[in-house]
Chains A and B, each alone.
Chain A
Amino acid sequence: ELKVEQNPLFLSMQEGKNYTIYCNYSTTSDRLYWYRQDPGKSLESLFVLLSNGAVKQEGRLMASLDTKARLSTLHITAAVHDLSATYFCAAGPMDSNYQLIWGAGTKLIIKP
């Protein structure tokens, strides 16, 4: 059974600093997603990672996937206050075309 674990679950950091959120998953998966959720709002897709070694970047966020290590990372470069949100990763089980197993989310607070 696929399980997804994110860490840390809470992160408070200063603007301008770099940090990484980790997403580990327990069994083989062929797709990994990152989403952002602002308080009281819905989830917004950030990245779709479909192959080993995939790296995607958007602004100050960069996501990567290592399928051998069953690990995805979301790296934040020179954080700004606007990036404060909860970030979720989700992985797809091999035996389902639709199911996604979600991590618990990382609440990120960036202080000015």
Chain B
Amino acid sequence: ETGVTQTPRHLVMGMTNKKSLKCEQHLGHNAMYWYKQSAKKPLELMFVYNFKEQTENNSVPSRFSPECPNSSHLFLHLHTLQPEDSALYLCASSQVWRDRGGEAFFGQGTRLTVV
């Protein structure tokens, strides 16, 4: 099993659809993240969960809704997205940096296209 697994790898959805992205980590980390990577933009942190509790939310539109049922799983629920939301969505996990350096391990990403 790879460390951080994301599904699906590719997703095309209409603006009225509802879909979910899934992330699972097998590294025993206590923090999980959703990042958005758009062309020609720095990586943007969307949400952070620490021990299942959301600790940071970087002013993400409500059409993105995270869910963290346990410390190994993370979901990103999508609804009524806009074409500008098309991007690569990356999940990552880490330990608190003061414990083990905070190195983040990333999943393979979901390439999302909103039509």
Q: Which residue of A lies closest to B109 (CB)?
A: A42
Of the candidates A4, A42, A44, A92, the one having the most CB atoms from chain B within 10 angstroms of its own CB is A42
CB distance from B24 to the nearest CB of A (A): 14
What's the interface size class on B, roughly? 20 to 34
Given contacts A33-B102, A43-B90, A102-B43, 12 further A-B contacts (CB under 8 A): A31-B97, A31-B101, A43-B92, A45-B105, A90-B43, A98-B48, A98-B96, A98-B97, A99-B56, A100-B45, A102-B42, A105-B42
Of the candidates B45, B55, B90, B94, the one having the most CB atoms from chain A within 10 angstroms of its own CB is B45
B interface list, Cβ under 8 A from A? 31, 33, 41-43, 45, 48, 50, 55-56, 90, 92, 94, 96-98, 101-109
